[in-house]
Amino acid sequence: MTAQLTAPTTLETLTWDWQGHRVGHTIQGQGQPLVLIHGFGASIGHWRKNIPALAAAGYQVHAIDLLGFGASDKPPLTYTLELWEALLQDYWREHINRPAVFVGNSIGGLMTLMMLAHAPEMAQAGVLLNCAGGLNHRPEELNLPLRVVMGTFSKVVNSNLLGPLVFNEVRRKFRIRGSLQQVYGNREAITDELVEILYRPSCDPGAQKVFASILAAPPGPRPEELLPQIQQPLLVLWGEDDPWTPIKGADIYRELSAVNEESSPTVTFHAIANTGHCPHDERPEVVNPLILDWLQALVPAT
């Protein structure tokens, strides 16, 4: 079935200067602050089905294009989770300055855990959507042949000669659509608008160097290392058909939710059927009510 073009949702993109770099963000609504953190290759636009609903329910919704993605600058830096964590903390200091609920998909979920663990004064609670286990795979997580393949691919992508050629192939629209078809359980959510949201920033100067840097970046902390440091409540939503972060990876959250009264953090867990890596975009009609119901019990809207 061919996905049809959906009517674009307009989100006002604001610009914030961070360490001499332009960072795109948007703010919508009034009330308890929520901070939405996208995953690898995504941007503010990936939350277009969620921001209006959350804002209309009485929350102040912040979404940010991490440096290197979306409308933000793409400078030639060493990209790490810690770089983006510093960006988020500075953003909080300048634009929020009161406890917020952080909401993240994929690596955005891992960064949500990092914010809760490392900056509890900033983070009142967290929502994880198919939380990644790392920015990249750890060598011990791969068998030897795959370890060799991934190591070789990273070297090729970082080559000044071959890197741009590989990147130009990876970012072609039909390849983006093919990748989405692998990771989206709801194929109807794969629209021309979504492909354009992912494709457009890849045309910006510096995008290829960002891609290469991230593929060579350290994986960062494991969720298992961060969770014991976290006291705040967590809502964990997981698309059951995700090949990138399989439902097996949710076992640690299921276990915590099963002993909710005694566990720290307190975890509420929901698996979402027929859904892949991006539940918020694939099933907003399911995800938005789950988030809002949980938020209402946690931090009632104003």
How far, in Å, CA of 229 to CA of 224, rounded? 10
Q: How would you classify the pairing of strands 59-64 and 32-37?
A: parallel
**Which band of pLDDT confidence, cut at 50, 70 and 90, is reported for residue 259?**
confident
Sheet with 59-64, side-by-side order of all strands: 14-18, 21-28, 59-64, 32-37, 100-105, 123-129, 234-239, 267-272
pLDDT reported for residue 139: 58
How far, in Å, CA of 31 to CA of 11, rounded? 18
DSSP state of 123: E
pLDDT reported for residue 191: 97
Q: What is the pLDDT of residues 187-244, one digit of tens each?
A: 999 999 999 999 999 999 999 999 999 988 999 999 999 999 999 999 999 999 999 8
**Residue written as tokens 């050629």?**
165
How far, in Å, CA of 66 to CA of 214, rounded? 12
3-class DSSP assignment, residue 236 = strand
Higher pLDDT, 128 or 139: 128
Lowest mean pLDDT among 18-32, 250-264, 284-298: 250-264
pLDDT at residue 302 tops 60 = no
**Which band of pLDDT confidence, cut at 50, 70 and 90, is reported for residue 148?**
low
pLDDT at residue 146 tops 60 = no
pLDDT at residue 161 tops 80 = no
pLDDT reported for residue 216: 87
How far, in Å, CA of 110 to CA of 37, rounded? 10
Buried b (16+ CB within 10 A) or exposed e, 122-155: bbbbbbbbbbbbbbbeeeeeeeeeeeeeeeeebe
Q: What is the pLDDT of residues 77-100, one digit of tens each?
A: 999 999 999 999 999 999 999 999
State the average pLDDT for the chain: 89
**Which band of pLDDT confidence, cut at 50, 70 and 90, is reported for residue 45?**
very high
Q: What is the mean pLDDT of residues 133-141?
A: 72
pLDDT at residue 26 tops 80 = yes
Lowest mean pLDDT among 50-54, 97-101, 155-159, 250-254: 155-159
pLDDT reported for residue 8: 41
pLDDT reported for residue 156: 65
